Structure 1
Amino acid sequence: MLVVDPSSSCDICLDPFDWDSTDRTPHIIDCGHVFCAECLHQVFPTKCPLCRKLFFPSEIRKLHVESCSDDDKEEVRLLKQLISAHDSSEEEILRLRIRVDTWLAARTLDEVCADSEML
């Protein structure tokens, strides 16, 4: 599954994707690389700027992305902090653990069950 983080940006113009503008939303080409439509339509010759594989403008596909709820955004934030916490001090890890425990305690049983069904 391809996942585009809400904070992702185009690797050509380096601007963040704009989920409300068709020209600035993420689009994928045959090689699997993702750029904004505006930049892809300006590439000439039509070779991927990253891997140089030829692509056809008619085969550029818009990615449809579901927006995240605030709870999903907090989950992503906490997961990123957990991943990068390996070299943190014990005090920082304890604070992060308390935040995670508080977030988990606030979730309802229905939310937890729905998440486990998706696995």
Structure 2
Amino acid sequence: MLVLHSTSNCDVCYDSYGQDNPASTIPCGHIFCYRCISVCKPSICPLCRKKFSKSNVTKLRTANVGDVGSEAIVCSPVSATPSTSSCRLDGGRESLRGKDFDDRVAAHIKETGEMIKEVTERVYFQHSVEAALRAKLAEIELEKGILLSKVRLRGEAT
């Protein structure tokens, strides 16, 4: 059983759940307001990035429960198991980021670091090539006497 309080909000738009904006679940077990899930394109969970079909979105039935709290509502059905659910809306909010998310972030950071290293090496190499070409150009100019005439002109102007 999942208990939503009046302070429970959709993790996408942060609006409260209600009759005009019912809580809805998707196959991965995460819960969002129906408006956010119905316009989600592509159909990928905003939290765990798992694909889902619009036909698998389930609006949760709600009923007021006095002993839980005057403004609390109980929702059913919830298909999430504790191992796949990374979002509880019972006021005791667990971390929205699970191990899978953290692993993907770590992999992305590593990949980004590798790309930065690769680009830095390319820039350094291109800078080295440019420096070598400039040195070769200066050498050719010296051989042809072109640079000496420029140096003489500068020297005469001073």
1:42 corresponds to which letter in structure 2? V
Give yes or no for the alignment of 1:14 onto 2:14: yes
**Counterpart Cα distance in 1 of 2:6 and 2:62:** 9
Unaligned runs of 5+ in 2: 73-91, 93-158
Say which of 22, 26, 34 aligns to 1:25: 22
Deviation at 1:39, TM superposition (A): 0.6
**Counterpart Cα distance in 1 of 2:35 and 2:64:** 21
What's the CA shift string for 1:26-52, capped at 9, x where partnerless?
000000000011110111110000000
TM-score (norm 1): 0.54
SS in 2 for 1:16: coil
Deviation at 1:73, TM superposition (A): 1.6
Question: How do 1:50-89 and structure 2 match up within 5 A?
Answer: 50-69=47-66, 71-73=67-69
What's the CA shift string for 1:67-118, capped at 9, x where partnerless?
122x5326x8xxxxxx9xxxxxxxxxxxxxxxxxxxxxxxxxxxxxxxxxxx
SS in 1 for 2:24: strand
**Counterpart Cα distance in 1 of 2:3 and 2:13:** 20
SS in 2 for 1:38: helix
Q: Counterpart of 2:35?
A: 38
Larger RCO, structure (CA 8 Å, separation 6 or more): 2
Unaligned runs of 5+ in 1: 77-82, 84-119
**Counterpart Cα distance in 2 of 1:57 and 1:51:** 16
TM-score (norm 2): 0.41
**Counterpart Cα distance in 1 of 2:59 and 2:17:** 12
CA RMSD of aligned residues (A): 2.1
Q: Counterpart of 1:49?
A: 46
**Segments ≥4 residues shifted beyond 2 Å:** 1-7
Give the fraction of aligned pairs with identical amino acids, expressed as a percent: 38
Deviation at 1:66, TM superposition (A): 1.3
